[in-house]
Amino acid sequence: MKFRTINLPNSERFACSARKLKAAFSDVQNLEIYCGVLGKSFAFDSRIKKRPRLQGTVVAQAQINRDLAAILILYALSKGNYPETAANEFCDSIIQEIHQWLNGQLAKPKTAILGVESLLIEWTGREHIKHVMRFL
């Protein structure tokens, strides 16, 4: 596993700590975790034609490509917009759902993934919502 992160100001946070991420995904092969390194906020890839309607902020994104290389990206969040209860929910249950999704994708044969498959985790202010996307 490859892990890279950036330092954040005191007014921002990630949805989960580095220690909990490393512990949760230590068994996933070919996984790279980036916390703020690839960008502090989410933006859709230009290749995506069917975009989900987002009502809140994307806090994390998991992707797997046709070479079965997996990436988990966490985005910087304002502490005022992402409360401690949301972070606890993310660390306690959402991480397990991401882990199961990644393992399910990695169990597929290489020919089953035609492009890039992506799982977005969105925080609406009240709950986490998951969106699955596929693009070439």
Mean pLDDT of 73-100: 96
The pLDDT of residue 111 is above 90: no
Q: What is the DSSP letter of 56?
A: S
- Closest by Cα among 108, 109, 131 to 118: 131
Say if residues 46 and 115 touch (Cβ distance below 8 Å). Answer: no
pLDDT band at 118 (very low <50, low <70, confident <90, very high): very high
pLDDT value of residue 97: 97
State pTM to two decimals. Answer: 0.92
AA identity, residue 132 = V
* Joined tokens for residue 16: 């989960």
Q: How far apart are CA 22 and CA 75, in angstroms?
A: 16
Say if residues 119 and 108 touch (Cβ distance below 8 Å). Answer: no
Task: Tell me if residue 136 falls in helix, strand or coil.
Answer: coil
Mean pLDDT of 83-112: 93
